[in-house]
A and B are shown apart, each in its own frame.
Chain A
Amino acid sequence: MFQQFSFNHVLFMLTGLGWTIGLAAIALVGGSIAGSVLTLMRVSSNPVLSRIAQFYIFVVQGTPLLVTLFIAYFGTTYLGFSIAPLTAIAVAFSFYAAAFLGDIWRGAIQSVPVGQREGAHALGLSRAHAMRYIIVPQAIRIATPPTVGFFVQLIKNTSLASVVGIVELTRTSQIVSNATFKPLEVYLTAALFYFLVCFPITLFSRSLERRLSA
């Protein structure tokens, strides 16, 4: 006998949404930190560092997130680490996000007109000061819309974590759908939840874009 699709099921799915948001938040924070390091390596004058970062971005961007997840999940157990699967997944998401953010941010830094750097250097500002006070603030404006866009993608991509046993929104929906046999209602509810999280971010990005281009 199938259950009715009830409020309790929605509550259960909300716990899944909690995991989804949690995973996304971890990926954003971890990805931003690692992405900043990659960006600095990419724009540094040290060719070795720059190459390493470039290679990393190349490899990770060229690997499906699902594969990265499997490697992080099974790889760690295979190597005998006893870390929680959630930790492995969080790490995989962070590494994945870092590869994209590192690339977006490098592009933003390099698209600040060269005259800005020259203007700063002509005033005697050091490389670090020019970066911090002149280049990065302008790069942030350029990078904000694509960064927010990537964040939205990332939130949706956390659904992949269900395949390695994280009970996030997509996984809870699967469970509820199996129990109620009301897939359409259940997945429409899930879609609505994803939408309610992503849409405000997209709106925010739009308004930011409009404000920055003004």
Chain B
Amino acid sequence: MSASDSVVSARKVSKFFAGFQALRDIDLDVVKGETIVVCGPSGSGKSTLIRCLNALEQHQSGELVVCGIELTAARQSIDAVRRRTGMVFQNFNLFPHMTVIENCMIAPMKVKGMSRDEARATAERFLKRVHIPEQADKYPAQLSGGQQQRVAIARALSMNPDVMLFDEPTSALDPEMVREVLDTMVELAREGATMICVTHEMNFARQVADRVIFMDKGNIIESGAPETFFAKPETDRAREFLAQILH
């Protein structure tokens, strides 16, 4: 692994919320092309971890390098990292006052300075990639949850990020729509995208994850290939968790 292949490098990263420690000395390395699944019980710090990666939360100690940029409190480092990372949220966070295609055009135009035509062409390409080119001129509220989440994926991809961060992208969806979003994510992973996904969809993990990370109480307590993690988890916490989640 060369230094330029590193997408995330975290060393002893800690995060506190008003005295409560949500992340404890996190060490994590992610390289280009990897798909990482992060799982763990509620409140274990999964969201906090991936939100630190694009500075939606700021870590207080340790060293965090994302896409080759050391994240500090400095505005430039935060802006630079956000330009290279894409994020998909549990609740989509689409912009309701803009059409689907405008949702996908705003950042390329305002952040990258693309022309309107260029941005439109890019957006159309990514909407095709998530299989909803025909919805381009609708408003988010006119789409199903699954379609909205695929728009959110296209919107993030339209900035051509080095890494895609997913925070429980399917947990707000009706069961019949989970499939279409996971399929899109599987395709992305197979095309070689670098992805860090907080999800409890263990079939997704089995299909495409290079590594599963298990968190508990702000620590990463297991990290390994999905086969090993599912077949013989090392810790009692992971065993309990898997028992619950796999019924």
Q: Which residues of A contact B (CB under 8 A)?
A: 115-116, 118-126, 129, 133-134, 137-138, 141
**B83 on the interface (CB 8 Å rule)?**
yes
Hey, which chain A residues are within 8 Å of B89, CB to CB?
115, 118-119, 122
**B155 on the interface (CB 8 Å rule)?**
yes
Cβ contact within 8 Å between A115 and B93: yes
* Interface stretch (choices B12-20, B26-34, B105-113, B216-224): B105-113
**B54 on the interface (CB 8 Å rule)?**
yes
5 contacts between A and B (CB under 8 A): A116-B95, A122-B156, A124-B83, A125-B111, A138-B95
**B43 on the interface (CB 8 Å rule)?**
no
Q: A129-B110, A133-B106, A133-B110 are in contact. Are A122 and B85 (CB under 8 A)?
A: yes
B159 to chain A minimum Cβ distance, whole angstroms, is 6
Cβ contact within 8 Å between B111 and A115: no
One of A121, A133, A134, A137 near B56 (C-beta < 8 A): A121
One of A115, A116, A124, A138 near B82 (C-beta < 8 A): A124
Hey, which chain B residues are within 8 Å of A129, CB to CB?
110-111
Cβ contact within 8 Å between B107 and A124: yes
Q: Which 7 A-B pairs have the closest CB atoms?
A: A119-B93, A123-B107, A122-B87, A124-B83, A115-B93, A124-B82, A124-B111
Hey, which chain A residues are within 8 Å of B96, CB to CB?
138
**B91 on the interface (CB 8 Å rule)?**
yes
Cβ contact within 8 Å between A122 and B95: no
One of B54, B79, B93 near A126 (C-beta < 8 A): B79
Q: A115-B91, A141-B97 are in contact. Are A123 and B106 (CB under 8 A)?
A: yes
Hey, which chain B residues are within 8 Å of A126, CB to CB?
79, 111
Hey, which chain B residues are within 8 Å of A138, CB to CB?
95-97
Separation of A134 and B155 alpha carbons in the complex (Å)? 14
Cβ contact within 8 Å between A122 and B110: no
**B145 on the interface (CB 8 Å rule)?**
no
The winner among A116, A120, A124 for most chain B CB atoms within 10 A is: A124
Hey, which chain A residues are within 8 Å of B87, CB to CB?
122
B223 to chain A minimum Cβ distance, whole angstroms, is 25
Hey, which chain B residues are within 8 Å of A119, CB to CB?
89, 93-95
A116 to chain B minimum Cβ distance, whole angstroms, is 6
Q: Which residues of B contact A (CB under 8 A)?
A: 54, 56, 79, 82-83, 85-87, 89, 91, 93-97, 106-107, 110-111, 155-156, 159
Separation of A137 and B96 alpha carbons in the complex (Å)? 10
A143 to chain B minimum Cβ distance, whole angstroms, is 13
Cβ contact within 8 Å between A116 and B111: no
Q: A119-B95, A121-B56 are in contact. List 5 more A-B contacts (CB 8 A).
A: A116-B95, A123-B111, A124-B79, A124-B111, A134-B95
Hey, which chain A residues are within 8 Å of B56, CB to CB?
118, 121-122
Hey, which chain B residues are within 8 Å of A116, CB to CB?
93, 95
A180 to chain B minimum Cβ distance, whole angstroms, is 54
Cβ contact within 8 Å between B91 and A125: no
Separation of A121 and B78 alpha carbons in the complex (Å)? 10
One of A120, A123, A134, A141 near B156 (C-beta < 8 A): A123
Separation of A123 and B114 alpha carbons in the complex (Å)? 14
Q: A115-B89, A115-B91, A118-B56 are in contact. Are A123 and B97 (CB under 8 A)?
A: no
Separation of A100 and B8 alpha carbons in the complex (Å)? 48
Separation of A141 and B110 alpha carbons in the complex (Å)? 23
Q: A122-B54, A123-B106, A124-B83 are in contact. Are A137 and B97 (CB under 8 A)?
A: yes
B212 to chain A minimum Cβ distance, whole angstroms, is 24
Closest to B55 in A: A121
One of B82, B94, B97, B156 near A121 (C-beta < 8 A): B82
Q: A118-B89, A129-B110, A133-B110 are in contact. Are A123 and B94 (CB under 8 A)?
A: no
Separation of A122 and B81 alpha carbons in the complex (Å)? 9
Hey, which chain B residues are within 8 Å of A123, CB to CB?
82, 86, 106-107, 111, 155-156, 159
The winner among A121, A123, A133, A137 for most chain B CB atoms within 10 A is: A123
One of B86, B94, B106 near A125 (C-beta < 8 A): B106
The winner among A116, A118, A119, A133 for most chain B CB atoms within 10 A is: A119
Hey, which chain B residues are within 8 Å of A137, CB to CB?
97
The winner among B83, B96, B155, B159 for most chain A CB atoms within 10 A is: B96
